[in-house]
Amino acid sequence: MPFNSILPFLLLFVMNLSCQATKVSDSRCGLESNRYIPNQVYEENEVDKPPALIGGFKGLWEKIEYPRSALRERVSGIVEVDFVVNEIGCVSSMSIRESIDPRLDAEALRVVQTAEYEPAFVGEQPAAVRLMIPISFKVR
């Protein structure tokens, strides 16, 4: 098969790949921002303006999907998640401070990972801040 006959298909393939890459990088909190480690991480009481959760806590709680197996077993409690809100307002460096059950821990991490914040500021400069959030799981 001559090269000229496959060239249009090759171009379409390359264009499709570049469009997909653009879609992934459109979010300000994509994978690359979550791997970013800031030079300095402040505690919440060390910043002039703390980070603000976009959509509020109600929006965050609405994202929780109780794991079915944990719900059937009536596992409940509070998972505490430590994390950093970086200079652009994205969540990184998550860890479980207080664990209840691996299924609930995984869901708490998933929900916290989806959060986006207005960044914190020290003076006029955006700053990375370490936070903790309790995620409550209650069987009703």
pLDDT per residue over 77-86, tens digit each? 999 999 999 9
Q: Which residues pair with 77 in a beta bridge?
A: 137
Structure confidence at residue 38 (pLDDT): 65
Please state the domain count of the chain.
2
Q: Do both 82 and 127 map to the same domain?
A: yes
Cβ of 87: how many Cβ atoms within 10 Å? 19
Q: Do both 24 and 40 map to the same domain?
A: no
The domain in which residue 107 lies consists of 36-137
Each residue's pLDDT tens digit, 51-79: 999 999 999 999 999 999 999 999 999 99
Structure confidence at residue 27 (pLDDT): 53
Q: Do both 52 and 22 map to the same domain?
A: no
User: CATH code at 77?
Assistant: 3.30.2420.10
Q: Do both 54 and 70 map to the same domain?
A: yes
In this prediction, the residues of the chain whose per-residue pLDDT falls under 70 are 1-28, 30-38
Q: Where are the alpha helices (DSSP H) in 1-140?
A: 3-25, 31-35, 56-61, 68-72, 102-114
Cβ of 18: how many Cβ atoms within 10 Å? 9
